[in-house]
Amino acid sequence: MEVTKLRAAGTSRRTVRRIKLERIILDGALLAFSFLMLTPFLWIFSTSLRLPKDSFSLPPAIFPTAWHIGNYAEVFAKVPFSDFIFNSLKICLIIVIGHIFISSLAAFAFSRIAFPGRNVLFLVFLSGLMIPGQVTIIPQFILMSKLGLVDTHLALILPGLINPFGIFMIRQTMMSISYTYDEAAYMDGASRLWVFLKVILPMSFPAIAVTSVISFIAHWNDFFRPLIFLNSFEKMTLPIGMTALTGAFGTGNLSSILAGVTLSLIVPLLFYIFGQKYLLDGITAGGLKL
């Protein structure tokens, strides 16, 4: 009996040591991979603090030899950078709020209301994901021109309010919620709108958060549509406005350009940090059932 206990204890200690060793190896591999993924961002930040003449030095230095904070001040001196940030932030927030409002209502209808042809209509609607945005840009431009909205922010906001992907994400999460919640609420005399606002919508928050983050970052980084619809310099969004930093023939100060890039990363990074804990839950819920 004593021999058996000793052997079991020895096996247990070896198992614990093996698990610890595997954990150390895994953590080390993940740390190295994380550093590799962050290297471009570290290089951008490092170059944004260099003197202009050091941006093309060979061999390149990982850290600046002389820290030059003035590159960030130069960004605001060369272009109305704060206006670009305000324009992008205004457009993205309006799109996200409107997109979530419309998508959640549509997702509730597709998931909780039984009407003839619901699944067929949803698949037809979902087929819009297969159409590239470049294909629809000409009809959109003609429509906005007829409405007199070219060179206005509404030309960017209105087409961005409806996206089949957001409806799909939220609908999949709502489909995973048990119908007993609806039945209990209806038995207590709740209306359909009350069930949507007080029962289903709060339980779908992970998918809503993921959809909000994805939509915000996509429109924050959008360069193509603002290039088509906006003409006035003061109305430009951040991606297209920052092209002014490159100069007429691409001869701009590389350090100040990357300083602008670094500043442009702050807002989407904050949104991602806020919503990243819901990302896995939202993706998992989105793949449950169709």
Cβ–Cβ under 8 Å, residues 173 and 285 = yes
Q: What's residue 90's pLDDT?
A: 93
Rounded to two decimals, the pTM is: 0.81
Q: What's residue 128's pLDDT?
A: 79
Q: What's residue 154's pLDDT?
A: 92
Q: What's residue 97's pLDDT?
A: 94
Place of tokens 């806020």: 274
pLDDT in tens, 109-159: 998 888 888 888 888 888 878 888 788 888 999 999 999 999 899 999 998
* Percentage of the chain modeled with pLDDT above 70: 86
Tokens matching residue 69? 């904070």
Question: Cα separation of 247 and 225, whole Å?
Answer: 22
pLDDT in tens, 73-108: 888 888 888 889 999 999 999 999 999 999 999 999
Top-confidence residue, 56 or 172: 172
User: How many alpha carbons fall within 13 Å on the CB side of residue 110?
Assistant: 28
Band the pLDDT of 1: cuts 50, 70, 90. low
Top-confidence residue, 249 or 130: 130
- Does residue 162 register a pLDDT over 90? no
Q: What's residue 117's pLDDT?
A: 83
Range among 13-27, 31-45, 84-98, 227-241 with highest mean pLDDT value: 84-98
> HEC profile for the chain?
CHHHHHHHHHHHHHHHHHHHHHHHHHHHHHHHHHHHHHHHHHHHHHHCCCCHHHCCCCCCCCCCCCCCCHHHHHHHHHCCHHHHHHHHHHHHHHHHHHHHHHHHHHHHHHHHCCCCCHHHHHHHHHHHHHCCHHHHHHHHHHHHHHHCCCCCCHHHHHHHCCCHHHHHHHHHHHHCCCCHHHHHHHHCCCCHHHHHHHHHHHHCHHHHHHHHHHHHHHHHCCCHHHHHHCCCHHHCCHHHHHHHHHCCCCCCCHHHHHHHHHHHCHHHHHHHHHHHHHHHHHHHHHCCCC
Q: What's residue 156's pLDDT?
A: 92
Domain at 74-286, CATH from 1.10.3720.10, 3.30.110.30, 3.40.640.10, 1.10.10.10: 1.10.3720.10
Question: Cα separation of 253 and 269, whole Å?
Answer: 25
Band the pLDDT of 190: cuts 50, 70, 90. confident
Place of tokens 């619809």: 229
